[in-house]
Amino acid sequence: MAINALLVTPPFTQLNTAYPATAYIKGFLESKNVKATQMDLSIELFTAVFNKEFIDAIFKQADLLGNKDLPLVYNQKEDYIHKVDSVMDYLRAQEVTAAYQIVHKDYLPHGHRRILLDKDLTTEFGKLGILDKAKHIATLFIEELGDFINTNIDEFFSFTRYAEQLARTASSFDTLDDYLTYETTLIEDEMLYLLEAQLQEDTYDLICFTVPFPGNLFSALRCGQFIKQKYPHLKIAMGGGYCNTELRRLSDPRIFNFVDFITLDDGEGPLLKITEFLDGKIAETMLERTYLCKDNTVVYMNHLPNTIFHHKNLPAPSYIGLPTDKYLSFLDVMNPMHRMWSDGKWNKLTISHGCYWKQCSFCDVTLDYIGNYQNTTATDLVNKIEKIMSETGITGFHFVDEAAPPKMLRALANALIERKVYITWWTNIRFEKTFTSELCALLSKSGCIAVTGGLEVASDRLLAKMKKGVDIAQVARVTKAFSNENIMVHAYLMFGFPTETEQETIDSLEVVRQLFQTNCIQSAFWHQFACTSHSPVGKDPDAFQIKITGPEFQGFAENDLYHEDPTGATHHLFSQGLNTALNNYLNYKGFDIPLQKYFDFKVPQITLKSNLVEDFLQV
């Protein structure tokens, strides 16, 4: 028999564009003559929830339960019920006449999020046109309904994740197992209804769930539970980023009550082997990078040598079957770079597999998705770009590399220009000195509108300790070269790296201030250092003068580690001040406020020159 696979993205991931895992797998399996259908259950469920009939059911359920938290929403429920369809239509396609309706002060209800905006509408939207203003107001409307669902109906509901708190740092399967015995919620019932409708569309043999993030795990297991109960003849496989990073020491067999196979790293090879096994072509012992359960014991099948499908030989992702007309553009934050993740439709494509640098001490460099670097050719890439555009009708591309190589970006830009392929694109890079003014101009000409990159800590001592391979002077010059070509630059910022002092944190903020003021960067985001078990820091904490304090591994997930940093600052105290300062700089204000004013405790004086970045740019 020929195997027929259904590839499912469980709720919830990005809502503005398709998560690409199923598209990659579909393209690959079909090139091997395995029939594959894909379903974005995430956007299908979101679309099913936010419509007139379902929102009406939400308010009726709240009445039944006697839950009326967020009274501003509850008291205006008629408006929410009768206007949700028009708001969702607008978020799918920003049509100007609808925008005028949405921005009218009396059209949409003023709930708990909207009234905050009412106080400061002019400041927030000084530079935004009517389409964006309407998009933001429409986003607030949907978020208010989401808050109501979360508070009154389903505590696990969130826009881009579901029950994430159950899967985060889940060293034991106990809590997940416990919650899976509870009755399904209204949201979960709708999810299972949609899944069953798809299962009845065709005769499937294998259902594959991609679980990229902790916020997809519980819904995938709920779906698996449903299939096991109603369609016990179907086999279920699970893979994706969460499995690849968190389940590498899996020993608890209970998860196999919900799935039959769990694969690690790139899914192409393991899934092809699973289809061959189910088709009777190979023995179970020939499976690769696959967990299964035998006699209530977790067994890892990994026949060596693995069948390797090199990045350059993989077919283009296939987006056929994904509902491009259902994705929504949200405008929830004013950060110009962050909105690119939630606003606009982007085809996602990888230029290279893994990271060509693969040395950063905070990164999962020991895992395949970082450490296994593979490249392709510009001709191959542009061929894939043209195929994807023909399938989706979308000309925006997000190249989702760990770090796009400068040499490949140059070749890609030249090929796009030469072949007259017109796209808009953005990607993640390292701030390499090879990004000269000339190269940045070429990238801009080929359609590049933005780059993201890790500045991390603006301290040369810590950058060396991190093995970033860059220094502040180089970052300043490279970011300025991009900015001079109107390519927006977003910097990832980190605080709390092991041994980081208060002085280094404050000096780092000063460098960030100067980078904004000199228009080297236009966007940034601070996150606190997190120690993971697959990073050099997690593997050798003594070398970084930290102590790992947990969690104790209990057979299920392992990734985030708790740690103490006895020689560093009390890092979490700096979070609010760093973010308040950054929010000012994002809005191009507050440059003259002394940094000490952003903190409610005494911090050191800056030790850096006030024109440090300007001096770097003169060289």
User: Please, which residues have CB within 8 angstroms of residue 248's CB and are 6 or more apart in sequence?
Assistant: 264, 534, 558
Domain boundary among 125, 152, 179: 152
Would you state the structure tokens that stand for residue 451, as one six-digit string?
A: 């780059």
Average confidence (pLDDT) over 562-585 = 94
* pLDDT, tens digit, 9 for 90 and up, residues 454-508: 999 989 999 999 999 999 999 999 999 999 999 999 999 999 999 999 999 999 9
The domain boundary residue, chosen from 247, 277, 309: 309
pLDDT score of 96: 93
Are 360 and 450 found together in one domain? yes
Residues 349 and 387 in one domain: yes
| Residue 547: count of CB within 10 angstroms of its CB | 11
DSSP secondary structure letter of residue 157: E
Return the closest-CA partner of residue 577 out of 606, 593, 597, 605.
597
Domain count of the fold of the chain: 3
Is residue 123 within 8 Å of residue 359, measured between CB atoms? no
Residue 377 lies in a domain: yes
Residues 406 and 373 in one domain: yes
- pLDDT of 121: 52
Question: Over 90: is that where the pLDDT of 118 sits?
Answer: no
In a domain, 58, yes or no: no
pLDDT of residue 112: 95
**Confidence band, pLDDT 50/70/90 cuts, at residue 395:** very high
Short-list 51, 49, 46, 100, CA closest to 80: 51
Q: H helices of 253-377, where?
A: 268-278, 339-342, 368-371
- Model confidence at 1, pLDDT cuts 50, 70, 90, reads low
Q: Rounded CA gap, 429 and 436, in Å?
A: 13
Cα 10 from Cα 187, distance rounded (Å): 13
By mean pLDDT, which of 70-74, 197-201, 367-371, 575-579 is the weakest?
367-371
Domain annotation covers residue 62:
no
| Same domain as 269, residue 214 | yes
Q: Is the pLDDT of residue 127 over 70?
A: no
Counts of helices then strands in the chain (DSSP H, E): 26, 18
Q: Collect contacts of 72-79 with beta carbons under 8 A, ≥24 apart.
A: 72/109, 72/110, 72/111, 72/112, 72/115, 72/144, 73/109, 73/111, 73/112, 73/144, 73/145, 73/147, 73/148, 74/148, 76/109, 76/110, 76/111, 79/108, 79/109
Does the structure show a pLDDT above 70 at 123? no
| From 33-42, 114-123, 363-372, 436-445, the region with the lowest mean pLDDT | 114-123
Same domain for 440 and 507, yes or no, is yes
DSSP-assigned states of every residue in 517-583 = HTTS-SEEEEEE--EETTSHHHH-GGGGT-EEEEPPP-SS---EEEEE-TTS--GGGGHHHHHHHHH
In-domain check, residue 49: no
CATH value at residue 169: 3.40.50.2300
Confidence of residue 338 (pLDDT cuts 50, 70, 90): confident
Instruction: Answer yes or no: do 246 and 373 share one domain.
Output: no
Q: How far apart are the first and last CA of the chain?
A: 68
Q: What is the C-alpha to C-alpha distance for residues 594 and 498, in angstroms, rounded to an integer?
A: 26
Residue 319 lies in a domain: no
Handedness of CA 585, 586, 589, 590 (dihedral sign): negative
Compute the distance between CA of residue 342 and CA of residue 331 in angstroms, rounded to an integer.
Answer: 7
Whether 93 and 135 share a structural domain: yes
pLDDT above 70 coverage of the chain, percent:
98
Residue 428 covered by a domain? yes
From 111, 132, 152, give the residue that closes a domain. Answer: 152
3-state secondary structure of 181: coil
Classified as helix, coil or strand, 235 is strand
Per-position b or e across 568-577, b if 16+ CB within 10 A of its CB: bbebeebeeb
Q: What is the CATH number of the domain that holds 502?
A: 3.80.30.20
8 Å CB contact between 175 and 140: no
* pTM for the predicted model, two decimal places: 0.95
Q: Which amino acid, one-letter code, is at 392?
A: T
pLDDT at residue 126 greater than cutoff 70:
no
230 and 268 in a single domain? The answer is yes
Q: Is the pLDDT of residue 51 over 50?
A: yes
134 assigned to some structural domain: yes
Structural domain span for residue 431: 332-618
171 and 135 within one domain: no
Give the integer Cα–Cα distance in Å for 152 and 254: 31
Query: In 393-428, which residue ranges form alpha helices assigned H by DSSP?
Result: 406-418
Flag whether pLDDT at 542 surpasses 90.
yes
Q: Examine the domain organization and report whether 75 and 141 are in the same domain.
A: yes
One domain, residues 135 and 200: no
Percent of the chain with pLDDT over 90: 91
Give the residue from 188, 177, 199 showing the smallest Cα distance to 258.
177
Strands 161-162 and 157-158 turn out to be: antiparallel
Q: What angle do CA 353, 483, 476 make, to 5 degrees?
A: 80
Classify residue 556 by burial, with Cβ atoms within 10 Å: 0-12, 13-18, 19+: buried
Instruction: Please give the mean pLDDT across all residues of the chain.
Output: 95
Q: Are residues 103 and 169 in the same domain?
A: no
**Would you state the pLDDT for residue 230?**
98
Residue 61 lies in a domain: no
Q: What is the pLDDT of residue 116?
A: 87
